[in-house]
Structure formats: structure tokens, C-alpha cells
């Protein structure tokens, strides 16, 4: 079984990538999709969706047959190198240089792709620092010697002669300073030693630089000056350098030799392109193509935000410029075409983007991956009960991962290391506790898989705009927020938990940052990804002994909303968007903190027979709102004890029949909604009986109880949550 983790459709012989690149992963030619105007393909998906992995597969598989340059824009190496000589380097120039080196190392059909235009630009930039000593400047220029094309582009003259000249110049400069600026001398020499062909190429390229008016020397000068100037001007210069590289690649394909000996399209693969460096590069391509500078370079970049990133849009844009979005699950190939019209320079860059949503794994794919990681298929024989345990593990992985490939892989590794002694006692959190070794540090002691996942998904992928002073605090913040539901709730938590800090983040800002980091939004949970929420909640639980941290947060929220319910004067102030009333919200958190009695009391009190102002439908909604609270032993008692309460085996104390019935019903629903284990049919079977019993008393709205019993039974059959939301949709 291949480990393509759901990307098979993208990589298939007639998939999007094969058609874009004109070659299959096995080297067969395919008709080219689109062209001459190409979209920038943005692979979108949150952390752990396999974007980087897909890019590496493209580089490894397709890169054997078409030139594919791969750059990780988040790699610190570019920033470090740029930091050594900030006047003449930037992360962008370093990344471009890396791309050019990779193209120059291509040894497949058609041979190496030289980058003379980019070389000229980089040399101009390198020689542009007016403050550098001549020797330093020359070193900086000589640094780009690796980019000098080996072929005949320079008429065979420049290659050695230029290097020799530079060496001689260096010797001279050490002795006495130059009369003219370094850049003038270098450009003089460059143009003097360029062949006619090379001169024409430079003229076509740098003659188009703003202010060059067709003179490549002026263009290179201006480029160098712009780079020195920094800011917007430097961004322009960097953008132009990328254009030069793409023109180099294009020229390698349009030459006679290129037409004969090359096939398919070259690729530039930009991983983590939602950072500043990647955004700049992608933006450069988008603007050039919007302006009619087409080239055949297939740019594939990754972005975490579902919409590809805010830089693609203009604030004033209507929905007319929304990018084309497609997912492999949609089938076929995306029908991208640049919409006609649009004013160059004013149209949103998103017009040139094709968003490809990374696919989540189907249950079947997850099981395959689990089987692969557990080494099933090895004929070792099966222990009794192993099959039951495997089913429990598989369903746990389905619930926690939600199809996120990284989750599946990590949990699969955990499952492989796990021996389930008692399947009945197995919960999702059991799996999260399994210690595994990190693949990046195989010598380190094993850590619980949940911690590794948090490292992978959160710590290593901090939102770009997160203030540095919050970096160390970020995971803790999110852990606290795992119990929050909406911004209101979260804000309350943050206010208390950041009490001692000068720099504070608002909950709404955190929500934005989470979206930027690619995490989904859920209307009922502040942390919109079920798996991540469980990781964080588990972390919160472990932050202080025996779950006191988690309990404290739940109690904080309970108290907060109980106070709000008590102090509110008007009914609308008591209302709560998610829970109906602030009191229900408080009861929900109370239940999570282990205060079952309070919750039962609240529900008994508000039952329409006791509180005639309430309708039966409202009460049922409130029951659900309270009951979908997370349950976690020992905060809320063991599952077995809750089950006994739900089945009436250990009835609640007290004489109030209604209260006892409500208690059973609450436990039954709570147990069902707490999906950290498999659904117990015995529990769901009690609902109808319990709801019918509630109608024993003369109370209006009995038909609502019957109808509700029917609806719940329907959902229980499909194992769907009774209160669906975005992050629990995959359950069942």
C-alpha cells in the first residue's frame, strides 16, 4: 500500500499535477492543462494536512522527469544567510539563488537550466552596497559564480574571462580603491564580455525594469538601487528577480534545443508559502501573470488558511475576484480560467490562484494507514480479543483525527505501540497517552503521542503574526481555551488567565490567529478542531495535579455564567447564543467540572411542569446544551459509574421522582454525547422510556417529548451527535 495518504488522486497519471507538469510520476507525457496563462496552485489545509509531504512527493516523483525546484520558505537558512549581509542579501534573493542552483543542477531531459538573467540581477544587487569595501563587494559578487551558465549563452567568452577579470579586479582593489562605484565597474565588465545573444536577453529582461526605458544597464542599476533602498522598492526588486529567473527557465524551454529536448513544464515548489518570503514570491508571480507576463513555470505553493491567505485579496474586492477552489474529492480537473476584464494593477491577485484543498482521509484510508503502521498483514496470528481492540483503536483514531493525515500517522504509531489489555476500558484518551518516539529525534525518550502532536501542529507552526512575547505562552493559552465555546467564553478565560501579564491577547485576536494557522472554525467550540481540542484539554488536565487546572477553568466559566445569570435583569441579558440561557451555560461547565447535582437541579427546576414559563422544546434544547459537556474521569466520575446512573442501576438519592428521572436522562444523554468511547446501545435504548416517563406528569408539550425521542433515536442509529457542529460532523 502506498503511503500517499489520500493524495493519490492529485498524483495520479491523469491527476492535476501530471496534467499541469505534462508528465506523469512515471515519466509519461500528458497533454498540458491550461496555458499559456497558468494559475498559481495553492495547496490549502491546516497543520498536519500533508501539504509539505505532497510537495516533497512531487519533487521526488515528478522531479525525476521535469525540473522541479523545491524551497521551504519557512526554513531559517534563508533568513540566516540574509542576515549575514543585510545590505546585499534578503531571504528572497537567497531563496531565488537556491531555486536557480536547483535548476542548474537538473540533469534530465534537455540538461541543466542556466539562469543568466537572474545572475546578472543578483550580481547587480551584490555589487550595490556603497558602504562595502571593494574586496567585500567582490566576494559578494563572486558568491554567485555557481550561477554562471556553463553553456554557450555567454558565447563561451564570459564564463572564464569574467571570473578571471573578477579575480584580477580583486587583486587590484585590495591595493587601491576604485575610482568608480563597484557596481559601475562590474556592469561595465559584464556588458563588455557578454555575447550578442546574452546582451539581447538582458535587454529584453532588464530593459523592462521600471525606469530602464529599454536600457538593461539602467535597469540593473535601478534594481540595485531599489534593493538598497529597502521597503517597497526592495520588494519590487525581489519580485523582478523572480521574474528574471522565470524568464531564464522559459528561455530554456523556448530555445530550439529546449523545444526539441525538453518536455512537460518546470515546477517551482514553495513550501510554507504563507510566510512573508513565500507571500512575496507568490505575489510576484501572480502580479506578473495578471499583467500578461506569462511563463510556463508551474508554481505550487502551500498555504494554511483556507482562503489561501489575506494577501490575495483587496479589501475593496467584491466576491467577483474569489479564487477558483477545487478539491480532489470533487473529481475531474479544476476548470480554471482567468476571468476576462479586470484592470491590471487593480485586480486582486486571487484571480490567478487555483486553491486546491488538501483532502482528508476517508475512514477506509485511515484503516489502511493504521494497518500499514501496525504491520498488519504480517502473519503473526491474532490474540483473542485483539480484533475487538483493533476496532476500538480504529474508531478512536477516526474520532480524534477527523481524517487529518498527520493525526492518523501519529496515532497509528501510537496504536502500533499500544497493547490493549481491556477493550472495554479503552477510551480515546488512552490512545493519546501512549508514549512513542519522535521520528525527528529517534534517540529521545518516548513521549505521549498527544505531546508530540501538539509539538507538530502547534508549537512548530506558530501563527506568523503572533507577537514574539506570546510565543512561550501560546500553547498554554490554547490549552485554557480548549474548554471555551465562543468568543465570550474565551475572553472571560483569557482575562483571568492572562491576569499577570502585560501583553495580553484578546480572544478574538486568538481566533484570528487560529484561522491564520489554518485551524477550522466551529460555531460551538472555540478550538474548532475536535482532535486539537482533545489534545489541549488533555494537556490542560495534566497541567496541574489530578486535573485541577481543567476543573478550575470549568468552574471559572461556571461561576462566571452563573453570576451573569443571577445578575442579569432583562431576559435578553440572560440569553446565551449557544446555550439558550446563561444558566444553562453555567450548568454545562458545572457538569464538566463534576457538579452533576447542580446540573440536575437546574434541569429539574426548569422542567415545564415546575417552571411554567418554559416550553418543552426549550427544555429539551437546554437538556442537550447542558449534556454535551465533556466528561473526564476523575473530574466527572468514571464512565462505568455514569453508565450505572444512566441505566438506573445506582439511582440518584432523594425522593423527587422527576429529579431522579431527569438525572437518569441527563446521564444517558451526557454519556452518549461524550464521544471519547464507543456508543453504548443500552444507554441510547433508555431515552424513549425516560422521555415518555417525563410525560407522566400533566405537562404541556408531551408531544414534543415523543417527537424528540424519535429524533434522538434516529440520530443514535447513525451514531451522530445529538447537537451537531462543524467539528463533530465526522463522527458516526
Interface with other proteins by CB under 8 A: which residues?
23, 26-29, 65, 109-110, 259-263
The least CB distance from residue 169 to other proteins, in Å, is 40
Compute the least distance from the CB of residue 107 to other proteins, in Å: 13
- Provide the residue count of the chain: 732
Sequence-distant (≥ 6) Cβ neighbours of residue 536 within 8 angstroms: 454, 478, 479, 481, 482, 527
Return d(Cα 598, Cα 613) in angstroms, integer. 20
Q: Are strands 324-326 and 298-303 parallel, antiparallel or unpaired?
A: unpaired
Determine how β-strand 68-72 pairs with β-strand 267-271: parallel
Cβ distance to other proteins smaller for residue 26 or 546: 26
Q: 607 to each of 272, 576, 668, 712, how far by Cα in Å?
A: 53, 18, 17, 19
Identity of the residue, 263 or 662, whose beta carbon is nearer to other proteins in the bound complex: 263
In the bound state with other proteins, the residue whose beta carbon lies nearer, of 65 and 474, is: 65
Q: Say if strands 68-72 and 435-436 run parallel, antiparallel, or are unpaired.
A: unpaired
Cis upstream peptide for 75 (omega within 30°): no
In the bound state with other proteins, the residue whose beta carbon lies nearer, of 111 and 155, is: 111
Alpha-carbon distance of 589 to 478, in angstroms, equals 17
Give kind and range of the element (H or E) at residue 71: strand 68-72
Judged by DSSP in three states, 356 sits in strand
Nearer to other proteins, 259 or 387 (CB): 259
Minimum Å gap between C-beta 527 and other proteins is 46
**Under 8 Å between Cβ of 134 and 181:** no
Helix crossing, 91-104 with 76-84: angle to 10°? 110
Helices 182-192 and 134-142, axial angle in degrees (round to 10): 40
CB of 147 to other proteins, least distance (A): 25
Question: Min. distance of Cβ 11 from other proteins in angstroms?
Answer: 15
First to last CA, the chain: 26
Considering the complex, state which of residue 77 and residue 260 has its C-beta at the smaller distance from other proteins. Answer: 260
For other proteins, the closer CB: 148 or 263: 263
Smallest distance, other proteins to C-beta of residue 439, A = 31
If the CB atoms of residues 28 and 504 are measured against other proteins, the closer one turns out to be 28
**Backbone angles phi and psi of 470, in degrees to 5:** -95, -5
Minimal distance, residue 1 CB to other proteins, in Å: 21
Local structure of residue 606 (DSSP, 8 states): H
Q: Is the CB of 174 or the CB of 260 nearer to other proteins?
A: 260
How near is the Cβ of 66 to other proteins at its closest, in Å?
A: 10
User: Closest distance between other proteins and the C-beta of residue 260, in Å?
Assistant: 4
Among 679, 658, 676, 659, CA closest to 668: 679
Amino acid at each position: 500500500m502506498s503511503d500517499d495518504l489520500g493524495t493519490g488522486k492529485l498524483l495520479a497519471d491523469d491527476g492535476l499535477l501530471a496534467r499541469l507538469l505534462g508528465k506523469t510520476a512515471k515519466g509519461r507525457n500528458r497533454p498540458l492543462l491550461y496555458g499559456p496563462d497558468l494559475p498559481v496552485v495553492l495547496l490549502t489545509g491546516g497543520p498536519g494536512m500533508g501539504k509539505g509531504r505532497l510537495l516533497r512527493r512531487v519533487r521526488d516523483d515528478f522531479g525525476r522527469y521535469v525540473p522541479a525546484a523545491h524551497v521551504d520558505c519557512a526554513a531559517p537558512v534563508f533568513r540566516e544567510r540574509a542576515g549575514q549581509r543585510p545590505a546585499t542579501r534578503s531571504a528572497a534573493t537567497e531563496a531565488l539563488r537556491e531555486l536557480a542552483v536547483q535548476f542548474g543542477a537538473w540533469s534530465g531531459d534537455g540538461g541543466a537550466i542556466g539562469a543568466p538573467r537572474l545572475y546578472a540581477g543578483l550580481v547587480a544587487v551584490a555589487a550595490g552596497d556603497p558602504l562595502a569595501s571593494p574586496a567585500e563587494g567582490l566576494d559578494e559578487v563572486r558568491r554567485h559564480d555557481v550561477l554562471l551558465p556553463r553553456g554557450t549563452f555567454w558565447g563561451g567568452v564570459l564564463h572564464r574571462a569574467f571570473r578571471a577579470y573578477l579575480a584580477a579586479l580583486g587583486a587590484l582593489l585590495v591595493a587601491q580603491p576604485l575610482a568608480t562605484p563597484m557596481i559601475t565597474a562590474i556592469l561595465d565588465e559584464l556588458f563588455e564580455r557578454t555575447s550578442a545573444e546574452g546582451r539581447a536577453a538582458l535587454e529584453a529582461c532588464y530593459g523592462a525594469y521600471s525606469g530602464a526605458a529599454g536600457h538593461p544597464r539602467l535597469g540593473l542599476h535601478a534594481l540595485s538601487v531599489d534593493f538598497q533602498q529597502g521597503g517597497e522598492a526592495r520588494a519590487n526588486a525581489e519580485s523582478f528577480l523572480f521574474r528574471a529567473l522565470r524568464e531564464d527557465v522559459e528561455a530554456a524551454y523556448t530555445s530550439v534545443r529546449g523545444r526539441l529536448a525538453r518536455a512537460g513544464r518546470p515546477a517551482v515548489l514553495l513550501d510554507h508559502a504563507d510566510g512573508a518570503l513565500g507571500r512575496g514570491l507568490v505575489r510576484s508571480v501572480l502580479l506578473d501573470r495578471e499583467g500578461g507576463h506569462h511563463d510556463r513555470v508551474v508554481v505550487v505553493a502551500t498555504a494554511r488558511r483556507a482562503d489561501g491567505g489575506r494577501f490575495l485579496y483587496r479589501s475593496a474586492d467584491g466576491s467577483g475576484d474569489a479564487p477558483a477552489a477545487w478539491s480532489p474529492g470533487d473529481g475531474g480537473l479544476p476548470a480554471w480560467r482567468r476571468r476576462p476584464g479586470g484592470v491590471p494593477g487593480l485586480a486582486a491577485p486571487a484571480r490567478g490562484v487555483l486553491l486546491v484543498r488538501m483532502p482528508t482521509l476517508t475512514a477506509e484510508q485511515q484503516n489502511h494507514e493504521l494497518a500499514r503502521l501496525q504491520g498488519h498483514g504480517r502473519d503473526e496470528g491474532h490474540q483473542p480479543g485483539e480484533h475487538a481492540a483493533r476496532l476500538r483503536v480504529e474508531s478512536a483514531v477516526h474520532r480524534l483525527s477527523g481524517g487529518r493525515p498527520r493525526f492518523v500517522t501519529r496515532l497509528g504509531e501510537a496504536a502500533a505501540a499500544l497493547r490493549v489489555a481491556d477493550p472495554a476500558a479503552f477510551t480515546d484518551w488512552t490512545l493519546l497517552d501512549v508514549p512513542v518516539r519522535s521520528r525527528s529525534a529517534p534517540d529521545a525518550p518516548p513521549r505521549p503521542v498527544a505531546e508530540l502532536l501538539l509539538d507538530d501542529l502547534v508549537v512548530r507552526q506558530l501563527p506568523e503574526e503572533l507577537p514574539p512575547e506570546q510565543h512561550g505562552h501560546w500553547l498554554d493559552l490554547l490549552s485554557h481555551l480548549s474548554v471555551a465555546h465562543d468568543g465570550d467564553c474565551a475572553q472571560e478565560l483569557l482575562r483571568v488567565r492572562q491576569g499577570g501579564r502585560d501583553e495580553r491577547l484578546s480572544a478574538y485576536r486568538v481566533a484570528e490567529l487560529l484561522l491564520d494557522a489554518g485551524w477550522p472554525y466551529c460555531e460551538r467550540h472555540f478550538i474548532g478542531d475536535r482532535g486539537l481540542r482533545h489534545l489541549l484539554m488533555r494537556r490542560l488536565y495534566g497541567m496541574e495535579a489530578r486535573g485541577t487546572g481543567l476543573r478550575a477553568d470549568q468552574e471559572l466559566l461556571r461561576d462566571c455564567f452563573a453570576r451573569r445569570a443571577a445578575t442579569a435583569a432583562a431576559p435578553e441579558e440572560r440569553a446565551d447564543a449557544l446555550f439558550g440561557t446563561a444558566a444553562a451555560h453555567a450548568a454545562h461547565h458545572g457538569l464538566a467540572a463534576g457538579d452533576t447535582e447542580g446540573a440536575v437541579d437546574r434541569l429539574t427546576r426548569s422542567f415545564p411542569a415546575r417552571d411554567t414559563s418554559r416550553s418543552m422544546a426549550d427544555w429539551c434544547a437546554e437538556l442537550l446544551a447542558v449534556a454535551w459537556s465533556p466528561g473526564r474521569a476523575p473530574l466527572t466520575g468514571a464512565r462505568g459509574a455514569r453508565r450505572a446512573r444512566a441505566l438506573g442501576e445506582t439511582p440518584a438519592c432523594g425522593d423527587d421522582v422527576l429529579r431522579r428521572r431527569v438525572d437518569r436522562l441527563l446521564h444517558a444523554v451526557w454519556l452518549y454525547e461524550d464521544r471519547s468511547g464507543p456508543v453504548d446501545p443500552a444507554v441510547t435504548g433508555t431515552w424513549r422510556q425516560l422521555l415518555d416517563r417525563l410525560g407522566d406528569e400533566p405537562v404541556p408539550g408531551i408531544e414534543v417529548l415523543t417527537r424528540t425521542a424519535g429524533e434522538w433515536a434516529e440520530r443514535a442509529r447513525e451514531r451522530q451527535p445529538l447537537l451537531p457542529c462543524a467539528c463533530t460532523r465526522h463522527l458516526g
